[in-house]
Structure 1
């Protein structure tokens, strides 16, 4: 028997005793009992040390009562938002039905760069959640490059959550966590599975009509009613971290932590606000926000709720909110209430923008042809549509395709009209 075969036969008799990851090696320590530079400043800001063997990270904790107000919302409003979802019968990417307020894990990171990949290091993991009658914000800080084992160990060992709430976290924060975790996964707990609510996408849907950029700081100012004072811009965080690594003075890093903390608090208020807009928990919303909420509900398959939003705007504004009327007409068409649909489209035909007018004319032509069998009016709408298409499209190729389709409809309606007259 060859040596290779002998070794393979012996493998199954070999007993390996592998220690559990992090077992009996992790512990917290009062920062004053160590020789950490500037330890009094760290302690003053609620910081402790978290050790794994001889390596450590820093953990900072801050607590807020639920009555604390951040922008236009108090944190206790989050409880109303979560409760509102419990009565929601549809599906939506922000629905926390079946979860409690404490299950939501508001999460944000600070990194050494804006790019992805292993070259980008997370030096601050921050999260906030409701615990009893408080919101607790916890931050895990990397005091030196190479100490990622205690950083991720402290983060993953002490965190129990069901749903991650981030701002562009699906595209940036969590992929970065996964990348760094891969490098040390043999030494730290596993990454848990979870639901993920990314508020960036909700903000784009509801607020892009009022701001060019939906960066969180803009949403804070224009939507949440919160204005940062003397805040460290996020793009300076890497430079401040590298300065800390060189000098160990925590003053700059503590300001980065405050910036990260405000991000987390804003996520709580923003989740509350988005929920209130979607589920009409409060009346504090503009008509355009109500319309955008309706469109989002429509997109996610909640047709009845979307229709209610559009009806509310139409009843309140009459014929002045063309988008709501246009969408509401489509709902009536889907319900086969063609008379209501045609009436709504006729009401905005002379006032709506050209591109909307092209759709309205085509829909009216269909209704008059197929449902009312009013071929004269149907032809009239087609001729109006022809003029609109000639005005809209400058690209001759695109225009030709649209017109060719229209001429097919005109020929068909003309034949129907002639048969009707013969009978």
Structure 2
């Protein structure tokens, strides 16, 4: 970083009595005293001076046609534009947002717990800038330099949306806690929207991944293979060693680890968007089903029906579940006959007894309350009774509809039918 840029950053803090020459001398003096400054500069790291102290900043730029896993960075813009064209409501929707407005954010801390005893020592973020991805990492050289760390970070924090991996529960609360300690010295935290890709990934792939660590999602979902990567759990020990010895070699490994984390968030958001919007040609039936459930959960009926309908017209392990879920969508819209026909198909052709049992009860409800046909309501309730007995005899499993509930329904229907004669 040039001395001119450093002076510009200090300009608002200079009194009229302090000459540019004296500040120039001070900056040069501080910079010359930074341990291993030549090593840092060779790695693209420069000091940032503020309020009599400094932090370190590492910047890297990546072309948008660079591949990171199964996607190039340019496909991120395609995902954002697709959201803006879709009109669908969804927690990950980028409707009304430009690709350049996204900030992909991650931190490195001295521990996994919360509170003031856990310090952030790297604030990393990346965003689209022209035809490049601009990545910036703010490094705490030692405890006590938090003011320049956060000042430099907040100078770069002109954004409206943030994407993290478990950042809503961990990273941003940590930032808020640390910021509270120095809020009299630096700008206020900006307001922001938040896409937490951890919870999205868990919803999508918990059926096949035992753990939802970002590195596992990278490998199993995004096709990203880390080579010679520093294990994240070693980061605090390496940072403490750096604070003591000042040698940056270990820290450079942590910065690379953090860099991959951030770049992976771009590919992950792209992949999740392609999945949700139906742009992924390799999407599995289970993923399609989970997307339908997600749309249903957030009240996006058209998206849910589209996902479930695509599955309902196939023959795979999710077909019966998709039909069952599709019938519930029609029931929400009070399209009773549409729901009825689908559930009857589930009972006749389905191969999952739990779903067939629930479908029988739903059919019985429609015949009793909507069609006023008690005989058919009794018929399907008896079918449910038979399926319930079969399931209990096989594995004694606890069902969503108990055998006792079915028998109470059957008894009530028989009484109603008797009184109608």
Whether TM exceeds 0.5 here: the answer is: yes
TM-score using structure 1 length: 0.87
- The within-5 A match list for 1:77-226 is 77-226=75-224
Quick one: distance in 1 between partners of 2:64 and 2:228? 25
Tell me which residue corresponds to 2:355.
356
Quick one: distance in 1 between partners of 2:401 and 2:243? 63
- The within-5 A match list for 1:324-403 is 324-349=322-347, 351-389=350-388, 402-403=402-403
State the Cα distance separating 1:352 from its structure 2 match.
4.2
- The within-5 A match list for 1:238-257 is 238-257=236-255
Quick one: distance in 2 between partners of 1:138 and 1:31? 25
The unaligned stretches of length 5 or more in structure 2 are: 1-9, 15-22
State the Cα distance separating 1:93 from its structure 2 match.
1.5
Cα 1:400–1:390 shift into 2, 3 Å? farther
Tell me which residue corresponds to 1:7.
none
State the Cα distance separating 1:411 from its structure 2 match.
2.8
SS of 1:316 mapped into structure 2: coil
Tell me which residue corresponds to 1:418.
418
Matched positions, count = 399
Structure 1 residues 96-105 or 406-415, which shifts more?
406-415
The unaligned stretches of length 5 or more in structure 1 are: 1-20
Cα 1:32–1:347 shift into 2, 3 Å? farther
Cα 1:393–1:24 shift into 2, 3 Å? farther
- 1:308 lines up with 2:297 in the alignment: no
Quick one: distance in 2 between partners of 1:400 and 1:200? 29
State the Cα distance separating 1:330 from its structure 2 match.
1.3
State the Cα distance separating 1:43 from its structure 2 match.
0.8
Check conservation: 1:204, 1:214, Cα contact below 8 A: yes
SS of 1:114 mapped into structure 2: coil
Quick one: distance in 2 between partners of 1:282 and 1:80? 12
Structure 1 residues 184-193 or 79-88, which shifts more?
79-88
Structure 1 residues 318-327 or 266-275, which shifts more?
318-327
Cα 1:409–1:247 shift into 2, 3 Å? same
1:148-191 alpha-carbon deviations (Å, 9 max, x no partner): 11101110123211101100000000000000000000011110
SS of 2:167 mapped into structure 1: coil
Check conservation: 1:107, 1:165, Cα contact below 8 A: yes
Quick one: distance in 1 between partners of 2:169 and 2:126? 20
Cα 1:276–1:320 shift into 2, 3 Å? closer
Cα 1:265–1:313 shift into 2, 3 Å? same
Quick one: distance in 1 between partners of 2:260 and 2:318? 39
SS of 1:172 mapped into structure 2: helix
Quick one: distance in 1 between partners of 2:85 and 2:29? 46
- 1:40 lines up with 2:38 in the alignment: yes
Structure 1 residues 278-287 or 217-226, which shifts more?
278-287
Quick one: distance in 2 between partners of 1:30 and 1:295? 60
SS of 2:96 mapped into structure 1: coil
1:330-349 alpha-carbon deviations (Å, 9 max, x no partner): 12333444344233323333
